[in-house]
Structure 1
Amino acid sequence: MQSMTDKKLWALVIGVLLIAALSAFFLISAVVDMTQNVSAAADRAVQPVDDVAAMTGGLATQMAEILHPTPTILPDPITIIHDVRSLARLETIQYSIEKVVKAESGQQELWVLFGDKLIFVAHGTVIAGVDLAKINPDDLWVDSGTLYARLPQPEIFVSTLDNDKSYVYDRDTGLFTKGNMDLETLARQAAEDEIEKAALEDGILDQAQTNAEYYLLRLFQTLGYPEVIFVQE
């Protein structure tokens, strides 16, 4: 009988302990949920304040930029002249030209005996541009924010034959001569003149001027002058 009573007491103790443990668990869970809800509410309450602070800071920065703008410093014409002169000879266009030149020596009546003639195929290069070292201080000036520029006249810098591509196509000599040793040299000189003449007739100098203005326009705009007018002499 005593044993049965002890068992009932132990069962009662265990039941009480289980109830106490469950009560403690639910109480802790409720406290944790409440803490999380309070933290989230606090975050939501702070967020508008942060947004307002960020907006206020942005407006303050914009107002500072309006009231105290950063000055734009443009180089004066003298500074530009130094920059432009450093480019020296601005080569703006190159022509590659082929010319056929005929050269001969000897009197017509005796050509069969002592004459010499040849056909020379010439390949040459002509380079033109503007010599910017010739720019003077009065060639650049600013008026109402517009930069005015007067460039030197375009000129031919190089007119030469390509010896690797130029050659004697045909040569014919009289019966009693081995040919004029200077005839090919004379043909080459004539070919150089013809090549330069062909480039000039094709408008190489006008194109050199146009290309120089286009190149310098971009340079001046980079230096801070969006409006540039080139003045012809």
Structure 2
Amino acid sequence: MTVDNQIPQQNRPRSSWIPGIFAGVLLTVIALAALLWFTAGVGIFHLMGFLRGGGTRIGVDQPTVVRQIQQLQRLETVGYTMDKIITGERDNPYLPKFLVSDRLLLMVHGEVIAGVNLGTLKPSDVVVSGHDVSIHIPATEVFSTRIDNAKTRVYSRDTGVFSSPDPNLESEVRAEAERQLLQAALQDGVLKSAEQNARSTVTSMLKGLGFNQVEIR
């Protein structure tokens, strides 16, 4: 009679590996939840951006633009200077000049200032459309024509034997110098230069406010 000496194999209780499976499933669920939350969050963010129109909104309306530009007031955009000798003379058509003449040479230094008076800008001159703005700026003008007294002097003065200096002659020469200074500045295109500089200044200011496209009319 044969006796089987094999010892019966004992099965491991199932309760020992159930917690491990549960922990794995729990971690997987947490990871999936985190992924879904992140994905949904990004989607909502893009959706909100789309609903807002995308990009950054410009919080500058038409009245604000008008006020900002008007604050520039008289925008001096160009200065024109000139050095010139101007002649003034008094004489008598019936007597020789060496007897009764009065001749003055004035070395003049003058300046012409031109620009745009943006204080006259009207609300109808500004059109705001989203990120774009169109503005009609006033015409350029000459603000001032002046003689620099510190740099202007009498170059020479000659009077006849029987003449005395005319006190009004120098004032008349100065007035003529201002007229010639203005004429020379206009001929050299001072108003055109003032307009170009005004366009550049206003464009830079409006782009600084956040506008992408600026049209100057």
> TM-score range, shorter-chain basis?
0.7 to 0.9
Provide closer, same or farther for how the CA distance between residues 81 and 74 of structure 1 changes in structure 2, counting only shifts above 3 A: same
Q: CA separation in 2, counterparts of 1:115 and 1:56? A: 103
Aligned to 1:48: none
Provide closer, same or farther for how the CA distance between residues 115 and 56 of structure 1 changes in structure 2, counting only shifts above 3 A: farther
Aligned to 1:221: 207
- 2:182 alignment partner, SS class: helix
The aligned runs of 1:64-79 (5 Å cut-off) are 64-69=44-49, 72-79=57-64
Give the conservation status (yes or no) of the 8 Å contact 1:115–1:179.
no
- The one-letter amino acid paired with 1:79 is T
Aligned to 1:105: 90
Aligned to 1:170: 156
Give the conservation status (yes or no) of the 8 Å contact 1:140–1:148.
yes
Whether 1:211 aligns to 2:211 is no
The aligned runs of 1:11-160 (5 Å cut-off) are 62-69=42-49, 72-110=57-95, 111-143=97-129, 145-160=131-146
TM-score normalised by L of structure 2: 0.75
Q: CA separation in 1, counterparts of 2:60 and 2:138? A: 21
Q: CA separation in 1, counterparts of 2:186 and 2:37? A: 65
Kindly, what percent of the aligned residue pairs are identical?
33
Give the conservation status (yes or no) of the 8 Å contact 2:58–2:131.
no
Q: CA separation in 2, counterparts of 1:79 and 1:112? A: 69
Q: CA separation in 1, counterparts of 2:185 and 2:205? A: 28
Q: CA separation in 1, counterparts of 2:61 and 2:165? A: 64
Q: CA separation in 2, counterparts of 1:91 and 1:58? A: 56
1:181 deviates by 1.0
Aligned to 1:31: none
Higher helix content, 1 or 2:
1
**Uncovered stretches (5+) of structure 1, i.e. residues with no partner:** 1-52
- 2:84 alignment partner, SS class: strand
Q: Number of paired residues?
A: 180
Q: CA separation in 1, counterparts of 2:110 and 2:41? A: 63
- Indicate the structure (1 or 2) with the bigger Cα radius of gyration: 1
TM-score normalised by L of structure 1: 0.70
Aligned to 1:16: none
Give the conservation status (yes or no) of the 8 Å contact 1:104–1:118.
yes
Whether 1:185 aligns to 2:165 is no
CA-based RMSD of the aligned residues comes to: 2.4
Provide closer, same or farther for how the CA distance between residues 201 and 175 of structure 1 changes in structure 2, counting only shifts above 3 A: same
Q: CA separation in 2, counterparts of 1:149 and 1:181? A: 51
1:191 deviates by 0.6
CA deviation string 1:182-217 (max 9, x = no partner): 111111111111111111111011100100000110
